A and B are shown apart, each in its own frame.
Chain A
Amino acid sequence: MTALEYVRGRRGLTGTKEGCGEGDCGACTIAVGERKIGRVVYRAVNSCLCPAVRLHGKHVVTIEGLADGATLHPIQKAVLENHATQCGFCTPGVVMSLFCLFSERRKPTDAEIRDALEGNLCRCTGYESILTAAKAVKGPAVPPHLKKAAALMESLPARPLTVVPGVGDEPFCGYHVPDNPEKLFETLELPGGGDKCRIISGGTDLMVAAKVHGRPFIHAADISWIPGLPHIGEMDGHISIGALTTFAGILESQNVKERLPALHAAALIGSAQVRNVATLAGNIANASPVADGSVALLALGARLVLRSASGARKLPLDEFFLGYKKTALGDREIIETVEVPLGWTQSSFIKTSKREAVDIASVSSAVAVDIEKGRIRKARISLGGVAPFPVLSEKAAEHLVGKKPSEKAFEEAGRIAMSEVTPISDVRGSAAYRKLLVRNQMLMHWRRMFDETP
C-alpha cells in the first residue's frame, strides 16, 4: 500500500490528491517529519510513490493537519488571500511543499521557493499567484499544535515493530523491513514470482515501475532500516557515499559542492519531493541510460563497494553497466557505498532536457579533468542518453590530454564524442538532436569550468 492509499483510503484524509501516480505532479505531497538532533525536520514526499510502511514512527502532516481548528496556517492564509488557488486540485500539494520549505527557512529566497515548488504542477494558475502568495507568507511555519503532535514521536519506536511479512496490498505482496544485513540477505533469497526479491530504497524508480507498468515484483526488501549503512564521509582521498544517501543529502554536502561540482550538479535530479527520498545507489542500480548520478560518477571515476552474504567486493563503475538495464550486480548483492575519488581539478555535469525542471535528460554528459602546469593531465568524459547505458567517450577524453583547456580543444573533443556515438530516436529526442547535444555540451563544459565571459 502506498502512503497515498493509506491517508486517503484508510484514514479518509482525502485532501491529499492523486494527479499522476508517478511522482511528477506533486498533488499527493505530504510532509514527513523525522527527529534530527533535537528537532524535527519535515521533508516533502510524494505519497503516491512512498510505501505506507515508511511512515512508521514519523510525524506525518497532511493538508488537513495544518490549520489549528478554525485558524488557518499562515501559508494557507497567504494562498487564499493571493488568489493562488483556482480549481484547487493542486493546492494541498502546493501548500504542503511550502510548509516543508518554510519549516526550514523563515524567509526563503525566490529561487528557494521555485526549487521547493518545481515538483508541484498547476495547470490553472500559471504559478504567478502562487509565487506571490509564497512571498507573502507571514508567521511561524510550525505552529504549537504541530509541535505538540511531533513530540508524540518520542514515544514511538523508530522502526516498525515487526518485519512486515506481507502487507497484502499492492504493489507488493511481501514488503520486508529487515533490520540487519543478515536478515536482508535472507530476505533477498525469497523467490519473487519469476523475478528476484527486489531491494527498495527511495522507491522512485521501483514504485513507478510497479504502478505504471503493472505488478512485476512480488517481494521487496526495504533497506532503509538497516543500521550502519554509512552516509557521506571523506576518507583516503575519496568521498564515500552510503547506500541510503539521498540526493537531498548530497546537495547538502559542502564537500561535494566544492570538490565534486559534477556530482553536485547531477544531484539536482527530479523535484524536491524526489530528491528527498531518491538515493544515489538506487540511481546507479536502476541502470537507466540517462541516470544523472551514474553519468556524473562515471566521469569522476567512481568505485562501488558491493556487499553480499559472502562479503564485500569493489568494482569500478566502468565495469558495472553491461547492457540496457543490465548490471554486474549479483542477485543477492547490494550497493553498499559509492567511492568517488577526489583530486580532480575541475569537473562538470550538464544535462539538456525539454523542460528546465523535473525532466529526464535527452542527453547528459560529465567531464572531469586533472590539470598540471596549465595542461590537462588526465580527463574523463561520460555521456548519458546516447547508448543503452551511460558510457565513456575515451577518444574524446584522450584528445584533451596534454592540451591547455581551451574552447578549441573542447570543441574538437565534442566533435570526436559526437562521431563516436550512435544514439537512438525516441520521445526525448531524435538521434540527430542527441548527436548535436553531445557536441555542444562539450563547449558548455568548457564554459562552465574555464570561461567566465558571457
Chain B
Amino acid sequence: MKRRDAIGSSPLHLSGELHVTGRTRFVADEPRPDGMLFVKCVGSPFAHAKILSIDPAPALSSEGVRAVLSAGDIPGENQIGHAFLDEPLFPVGEAMWLGQPLAIVVADDPEHAREAAALVGVECEELPPVLSIDEALAKGDLYAPERRIVRGDVDRAWEKCDHVVEGVVGSGSQEHLYLETQVCRAVPGEDGETTLFSATQATAEVQEIAARVLGVDRKDVTVDVRRLGGAFGGKERAATIWACLAALAAFKTRRPVELRLTRHEDMRWTGKRHPFESRYKAGFNRDGRLVAYSVELNANGGAYADLSMAILERSMLHADNAYHIPNARIVGRACRTNLPPNTAFRGFGAPQGVFVIETVMDRIARRLGLDPIEVRARNAYREGQETPYGQKVHEPCHPGLLACLKKNADYTRLCRDIGKFNSNNRRCKRGIGVVPVKFGVSFTSAFLNQASALCWVYGDGTVSLSHGGIEMGQEVNTKVAQVVASVLGVTLDRIRVETSNTKRTGNASPTAATTGSDLNGNAARIAAEQILARLRPVAAGLLATGNRRKPAADRIMFQKNKVFDPRNPRRFVKFEALAHEAYMRRVALGAHGFYRTPGVRFDRAKGKGTPFYYYVFGCALAVAEVHLLTGNVRLERVHIVHETGKSLNPAIDKGQVEGAFMQGYGWATFEELVHDAKGRYLADTTSTYKIPTIKDLPGVFDVDLVVRNRKHASVFGSKGIGEPPFIYGEAAYFAIKDALRAIAPAGAEIDLPMPATPEAVLEAVEMIKQQEVASGQWPMENGDPA
C-alpha cells in the first residue's frame, strides 16, 4: 500500500488498518481484568427533587453486589465542577436533573448491577422544574451576570439606517450521538494509585477532579486515553462525571471497575448542545450594508454551569460571523434549568451566534430584493477591519471565496434551473441557502492555549511520540505524526503515537476548540526539533568520514529515513544508523516540547481583546428540495469552499468538512430534542432521535479546499478544521426557507422554526396557504400552489 508522509499530502489514517480489520481497541474492547466489577447508576426520578432518603440495604443483599455508594462515601470533596465549583458528584439535598446519579451500585456483572440499581430505595419529593429559557430568565437564574460586547452606539445608529428589522430566533438542542457511549475503566494500583482509562477529551481535567473526589493528589491518579469512538465535544466536560464515579467505585472496592452507559442512558443523562433564544434588531442601508446590530443571546445551560459561560462567550464572539458591523451590542446570558448540564458540542456556541446574524442577512436580502450572496459579500470583513471585540481581522477572503462558490455551483444557471423547476412542479419546491463562516481559533480562556509533547528516538531509529491531544477520529495523531515525520525526515511507519497519558503529557488542555493539531502539532514539532538539533553534529561527523570535508551540520538534510549532505545526496547515512551512533555517543534522544500560542488574550469584563490566534474562512451553498405535502426535505446539492491555509493533510480536512456539514445539517433540520413538562427527553433512543444516514447525503457534495500560504495560521502554515464546517449545515435551513418562498407572495416573511423538521416545514406551508386564502390570493381550488 502506498504511503505518503509529507506535509500537505494525505497519508492513510494511522489506525486505519486496525479500524477496517476490527483490531482497534476502544476502552470496552480491552480484555477484562480478572475480578472486574461493573457500575450502574441510580438516577433521580425527577428533574428537580428534594432528596429525602437513600436506602442501599435492599440492593446490598442482591446477588453479586459489592457496594452501593453515595455522597457519604466520597473520601474527598463532593465537587466535580471545573471553572465553576457548582456541581456535586452526588447531589445532597436537592437533585437538579432527571437521572442525576444519586448513588451507584457496584456488582460482579452488569446484569446484577442493573437489577440491584432498581432496588436502591430512593425517596424524593418532586419539586417544580424550570426547563425553558423564558422561565429561567423570568426567575433571573443566570450562571453569571450578563456579558456584553459593545462597539459604537447602536441606539443612536437606528435612526440613521434606511431599514430596521427585529425578531426573535431560537435554535435547537442536539444530541452528540458519538457512536461509543460514555465509558471509563478504573483500575486501582499500589500505594493509593488509580488509573483511569476514560473516554475523555480532557485527561488533565479528569485527573484533577478525580483526585479531588478521592481526596488524593493528582500524582496519584493517572488518566490514559488511546482513542475515542467519536466525541464532538460531548466528552470534553461531560466525561468527567462518569470517570469520577468509576474512580470512586474502584477506590472503595479495590477492584478494577467498568462504568459504561447504555445508549439509552447516555441519551437521557448526558448534556447536549445549548438551545438558544435570541432577540435581535438590525439596521442597514439601501445597499444592504449593516450599520447597527443589537443581539441578546440567551443560552439554556441546564442544571450546572459546566462550560456554559465559555460556550456563551464563543457565541458572542461569533455573533458578527463574517461581517463588519460599525455599531454592535452583543449581550449574552446563560441560564440554569433542570435539564442535564448542557455542554460542549462542535462549534461551541458559534453556530448559535452565527445563526442569528445569518437570519438577519437573509432578511436584508429579501427586504431589498438583493442576491443573498451579494449581500453577504458586501458586508464581509476587509483586511484590517475590527470585530466588535476589537480584534483586527487579517487575511479575510470572503468576497473571493464567495465568488469561487458561485463559480463552483454555476450559480446563475443554478438559479435559473431552480426557477424553472419551481414553476414546473406543484408538489416540490427548491431553494438555495448560502452561509459564509469566519471562525476564531484558540481557546477563549487564554491559559488553555498550551500543549506539550514527549518524543523519543530509540537506538533503532524508531520514534515514540506522546502528546496531549486525544484521537477521536479527527486524526490528530496522523497529523501530529506527519509533523514529526517531516521534522526528523522519517517515514510514518517509524513512528508510534502513544496513548494520551497524564504521566507523559501532564496538564494537557482538552482536545477542543479546533486547536488539537495546532497546539499538539507545535509541541511535537518543538520536541522533534530539539532532537534534530542534537542529531545534526553526529550526522555531520558520520557524513565526514573518509577524506571528504565535513558538511555544515545545519545544512544536512533528513528525508525518507536518510540523512545526507544536499551537495552530495547520493552519499547518505540511514536514520537508524545515525540514531544508533548518537546513542553510543551518549546524545540525549528524548525531548519534551512545550508550546503556547502567542498573543492571545481576552478581557471579559471589557469585552475586548484578541482572543483568537487566527481565523478560518469558508462558505457553503446548499440546494434543498421541499416536499409540500409532507414537509420532507432532500438535499440536492452542496458546494463548500473552505480555506485551510497549508493543509497538513487534505484528505483528513475534507473528511472533517463533510462530516461536520452533515452534523450541522442534522442539527438544522430533523435532529429534534423535545422534552416533556417533567424534563424528560422524549427522543431518548436511537429509534426516536434521528441523525443523518447515508440516504441523507446530498446528490452532489462538492468540497473545494483552498490551500493558501497564510501568515496568520498555525503549525507549518496549516489551519485547524474541526468545528467551523459544522456551521455550513445552516445553509440547508436557509435553502428550505428559500424554497418556501416559491409559494409565498413576493417579499413575505417566512416563519420557519429551527430545526426545520418536516413537521415544522409542513406547518409553515399551511401557514402560508392560510394567509393566502385569507387574503383571497390562493390560486388553486385544491389548496395547492400552482
Contact = CB atoms under 8 A, between A and B. Distances in A.
B12 A81 contact: yes
Interface in A334-380: 352, 354-360, 362
B663 interface: yes
Please report whether the interface of chain B is mostly helix, strand, loop or mixed according to DSSP: loop
A118 B694 contact: yes
A333 interface: no
A80 B12 contact: yes
A181 interface: no
Nearest to A270: B687
A355 B23 contact: no
Interface stretch (A11-19, A135-143, A254-262): A11-19
Contacts of A66: 21
Contact of A436 (B19, B29, B766): B766
B10 interface: yes
A120 interface: yes
Given A86-B655, A356-B696, A127 B690 contact: no
B630 interface: yes
Contact of B690 (A125, A170, A359): A359
Interface string A391-409: 0000000000000000110
A112 B140 CA distance: 55
A440 interface: yes
Contacts of A24: 685-687
Interface stretch (B99-107, B173-181, B306-314, B531-539): B173-181
A124 B263 contact: no
Contacts of A124: 230, 473, 655, 659
B658 A128 contact: yes
B321 interface: no
Interface string B648-670: 00011011001111110000001
Interface residues of B, number: 84
B178 A454 contact: no
Of the four ranges (under 10, 10 to 19, 20 to 34, 35 or more), the interface on chain A belongs to 35 or more
A441 B631 CA distance: 12
B385 interface: no
A85 B19 contact: yes
A195 interface: no
A25 B686 contact: yes
Given A86-B474, A88-B229, A127-B694, A15 B23 contact: yes
Interface in A96-149: 113-114, 117-131
B706 to A, nearest CB: 18
A208 B230 CA distance: 24
Nearest to B230: A87
B689 to A, nearest CB: 9
B533 to A, nearest CB: 34
A321 interface: no
B475 A86 contact: yes
Given A86-B473, A87-B227, A359-B690, A62 B22 contact: yes
Contact of B687 (A22, A117, A170): A22
A60 B25 CA distance: 21
Given A83-B10, A86-B659, A89-B179, A117 B694 contact: yes
Contact of B655 (A123, A129, A429): A129
A346 B692 CA distance: 33
B705 to A, nearest CB: 13
Nearest to A117: B694
Contact of B24 (A76, A88, A208, A355): A88
Interface in A1-42: 12-17, 19-25, 27
Given A123-B230, A352-B632, A408-B782, A436 B762 contact: yes
B8 to A, nearest CB: 15
Contacts of A87: 178-180, 227-230, 472-473
Interface string B3-31: 00000001011011111111111101101
A299 B660 CA distance: 43
B694 A130 contact: yes
A196 B473 CA distance: 47
A235 interface: no
Contact of B21 (A64, A83, A426, A441): A64
A397 to B, nearest CB: 20
A16 B22 contact: yes
Nearest to A356: B695
A87 B201 CA distance: 13
Nearest to A357: B695
A427 B686 contact: no
A126 B659 contact: yes
Interface in A58-99: 62-64, 66-67, 72, 76-77, 79-81, 83, 85-92, 95
Interface string B737-778: 000000000000000000001110011001000000000000
A13 B22 contact: yes
B181 to A, nearest CB: 8
A341 to B, nearest CB: 29
B629 A123 contact: no
Given A76-B20, A357-B696, A360-B687, A125 B658 contact: yes
Taking each of A80, A87, A91, A430, which has the highest tally of chain B beta carbons within 10 Å of its own beta carbon?
Answer: A87
B701 interface: yes
A244 interface: no
A318 B683 CA distance: 32
B693 interface: yes
A120 B694 contact: yes
The 5 closest A-B pairs by CB, nearest first: A15-B22, A87-B473, A89-B229, A88-B19, A63-B22
17 contacts: A13-B22, A14-B22, A14-B28, A14-B29, A17-B26, A63-B20, A67-B21, A76-B20, A77-B1, A81-B1, A87-B228, A89-B473, A118-B695, A122-B694, A123-B178, A126-B660, A126-B661
Given A22-B263, A87-B230, A88-B18, 18 more contacts: A22-B685, A23-B687, A83-B12, A86-B473, A87-B472, A90-B179, A113-B694, A117-B693, A123-B178, A123-B179, A123-B663, A126-B658, A127-B696, A208-B687, A354-B759, A427-B682, A429-B759, A437-B630
Interface of A: 12-17, 19-25, 27, 62-64, 66-67, 72, 76-77, 79-81, 83, 85-92, 95, 113-114, 117-131, 170, 208, 212, 352, 354-360, 362, 407-408, 411, 426-430, 432-433, 436-437, 440-441, 443-444, 447, 454
